[in-house]
Amino acid sequence: MGDALPLFVPAVPFALVIGLAVVESGINPFAGWSTSWLIFGGAAQLTLISLLGSGAAVAAAVSAALVVNSRHLMYSAALAPTFQRQTAWFRWVGPYLLIDQLFALSSLEQHAEEQDFRTYYLAAGLTFWVLWLLTTAVGLAIGPVVPESWGLEFAVPLLFLGLIVVGVDKSSKVAAALVGAGVTYLTAGLPNRSGLLVGAAVGILAGTVLERTRR
């Protein structure tokens, strides 16, 4: 828990923005908040909620959210050897909690004893989970109180921009982001916001091609 709390601090505005986005999008508040325990992954939740609220087709919003969360495949593969030594129930429960922060923490503990790893993983994971559910609920509660003129809907793209800027650590990732943005802009008129998926796909392709030509 001691390790989990400092890592939750940066997640606080994220959770609050999700609550606000639910209010903004006009979707059912309980359904919006439920993404916190159904999905338990901020970027995908915010993707789904903001796209449903901006008039995207449900299929496009769901696909985009799934693509956002496909990065978890990397975490699953990286932790698989450690989980092989664990009891069956933990192999089923553990992945549900596997968010970015928990991956970062637990990958440092891979050489711990079975029991120690399990205790550490569950304590950190459940701490995040409880705080996440509470904080998104707080965002939902304060959303209707905030005046429209504050333009809080702008906090969503601003937060995404922050995630991009902090996450790009090499030029091929910058290229993936710029191409993704550019192609999405060019295809923004496509029905049901499907241009987003085209832009994302071309962006991923651009980053991949750049990375491979450089080797």
Q: Which C-beta is closer to other proteins: that of 34 or that of 126?
A: 34
SS (H, E, C) the chain: CCCHHHHHCCHHHHHHHHHHHHHHHCCCHHHHHHHHHHCCCHHHHHHHHHHHHCCCCHHHHHHHHHHHHCCHHHHHHHHHHHHHCCCHHHHHHHHHHCCHHHHHHHHHHCCCCHHHHHHHHHHHHHHHHHHHHHHHHHHHHHHHHCCHHHCHHHHHHHHHHHHHHHHCCCHHHHHHHHHHHHHHHHCCCCHHHCHHHHHHHHHHHHHHHHHHHCC
To the nearest whole angstrom, how small is the minimum distance from the Cβ of residue 130 to other proteins?
A: 18
Q: Which C-beta is closer to other proteins: that of 121 or that of 127?
A: 121
To the nearest whole angstrom, how small is the minimum distance from the Cβ of residue 205 to other proteins?
A: 8
Q: Which C-beta is closer to other proteins: that of 70 or that of 115?
A: 70
To the nearest whole angstrom, how small is the minimum distance from the Cβ of residue 154 to other proteins?
A: 6
To the nearest whole angstrom, how small is the minimum distance from the Cβ of residue 182 to other proteins?
A: 8
Q: Which C-beta is closer to other proteins: that of 70 or that of 107?
A: 70
